[in-house]
Structure 1
């Protein structure tokens, strides 16, 4: 995670600044040479520069989301799910209950990565129309449910075989949690996660 943070900062500070400088020079050149604005290749080049700037911001945000650092887990997850809903065309239901205060930085980041991977899996594979995200803090446990109405998949001896889900299981195990997956081809998928948080509350720096 430290390496993710370093790369995200480098992308934003170095490559992001370089692209912004290129964009500035391009605009200045257009001001000096009026004919450029009418050239199709010049317009395409400017459009590609804009796309590159947006992509750097997106990658940097995904690697180290500013909303998580500044506003906490709930706001970061709402931002994450809203972004996926807008780009993938889902109808998202976002429900959070009982979040009393922030968790430790490590737990917040790990939980964010778990949900991020779940959303990415739905976007890549599910062809879903509706997605439910629910997170409930109850009796020193955090219960997370992510459900979609997509095409589902066949479990192999009760387990999935994809790299994304193995990554999720690994992260949940690191937090001493448990994962249950229920999926039927053509009927969608439900992922239920339970994470103990008794020793992790009140651990965030303010």
Structure 2
């Protein structure tokens, strides 16, 4: 009886220690979440300030340009102006230059702070993830000490799988939103701000320099709008290429690869073997996203000079091969926080396909996927 009581006493102590450890880890996680939320709000404010700073800098640059032109006019016809006018022209040009320098310095400070916050957010995210993981592990210990081991093992396996799956989805969504936000901010939003300033400039030029000068500015303005429209269409295409539904997999891939080659400056070739045909929509989307992900990974991480994409369509399977001559990597080493290959494997597994990766550091990378075609899989 004494042995039983001793064991119960030890278990109670262990449970108490484990419970306290869990509370401490939970507090660390909550503190990290609070700091994370505060930094996210600060980051949002800084991003807004950066946009305003850019707009203010552009307006100041415009005024500075006019002041410099005025100074050049006064200097050229010095004898036509009084000493006061010459001095005012010089001081005004100098003031705008000083203001512009200060604005650039402030913008740089804001960008540095933004970069620091983004790095801090990344580390806090890792801390929260580790805290959640540790709490899950502690829950495993608690369940093990108080219940059936086999039941706990099944519960932990299911919970861990669901947690990891959910984390990957959330991570992928946040990364996609961040990428889309950055593309819109650095592209169309920036251009629209410039269009607003240039439209104001056109009015002033029309009043001050005449119709011909205004027409030149309007042509530049039209080009900016055209470029912005192209950027918006590219972003929409990346989200969901319409040609995939209308024309099918091969024409869509060919168009995407042409655009990717033009956008990156990397030589990307595409070759299709076999009769072009339609496949189920989920299969076409999965293959397109697989090729897209492989090309983007190569361009982003491998620094290749050439990428080759090959498609082979038969009655039994679809084979896609992406080969690059970049830096390569060790497929056995898992890079923490990277879900590129995981996402590829999940897409292919849903279609009962096979994925193989052949890569070595300094030797480039070859990725091949084979997806079976069901007898009734072709769409008419």
Q: Taking structure 2 as the reference length, what is the TM-score of the superposition? A: 0.42
**CA-to-aligned-CA distance 1:94-139 (integer Å, 9 cap, x gap):** 1111134211122111211111111111111111111111111224
- CA 1:73–1:201 in 2, change beyond 3 Å: closer, same or farther? same
> Residue 352 of structure 2 aligns with which residue?
176
Q: Counterpart of 1:94 in 2: which secondary structure?
A: strand
In the alignment, the residues of structure 2 paired with residue 24 and residue 160 of structure 1 have an alpha-carbon distance, to the nearest angstrom, of 44
The answer to whether residue 270 in structure 2 is matched with residue 94 in structure 1 is yes
Aligned to 1:104: 280
State the distance in 1 between where 2:276 and 2:220 align. Answer: 50
Aligned residue number for residue 69 of structure 1: 245
1:104–1:200 Cα contact (<8 Å) kept: no
Partner of 2:20: none
Deviation at 1:81, TM superposition (A): 1.1
Given the alignment, which residue of 320, 332, 336 partners 1:144? 320
Q: Which residue of 2 aligns with 1:131?
A: 307
Matched residues in 2 for 1:56 and 1:93: separation? 25
- Per the alignment, residue 165 of structure 2 pairs with none
Change (3 A) 1:203 1:125: same
Indicate conservation of the 8 Å contact 1:101/1:201, yes or no.
no
Q: Deviations over 1:20-50 (max 9, x none)?
A: 9x96996598368515978xxx999988766
Partner deviation per Cα, 1:165-206 (whole Å, 9 max, x = no partner) = 1111110111110100011111100001010112453225xx
Which structure's residues are more often strand, by fraction?
A: 1
Greater helix content:
2
The question of 1:30 aligning with 2:202 is answered yes
Structure 1 length normalisation: TM-score?
0.73
Question: Among residues 165, 168, 185, which one is paired with 2:341 in the alignment?
Answer: 165
Encode CA deviations 1:36-94: one digit per residue, 9 max, x unaligned.
978xxx99998876654333221111111122122111010011111111222222221
Q: Which 5+ residue runs of structure 1 have no aligned equivalent?
A: 9-15
Tell me which of the two structures has the higher relative contact order, counting C-alpha pairs closer than 8 angstroms and 6 or more residues apart: 1
60-69 vs 71-80, greater mean Cα deviation: 60-69
Corresponding position of 1:13: none
Structure 2: 5+ residue stretches without partners: 1-175, 181-187
After superposing on structure 2, the runs of 4+ consecutive aligned residues of structure 1 that deviate more than 4 Å are: 22-29, 35-38, 42-52
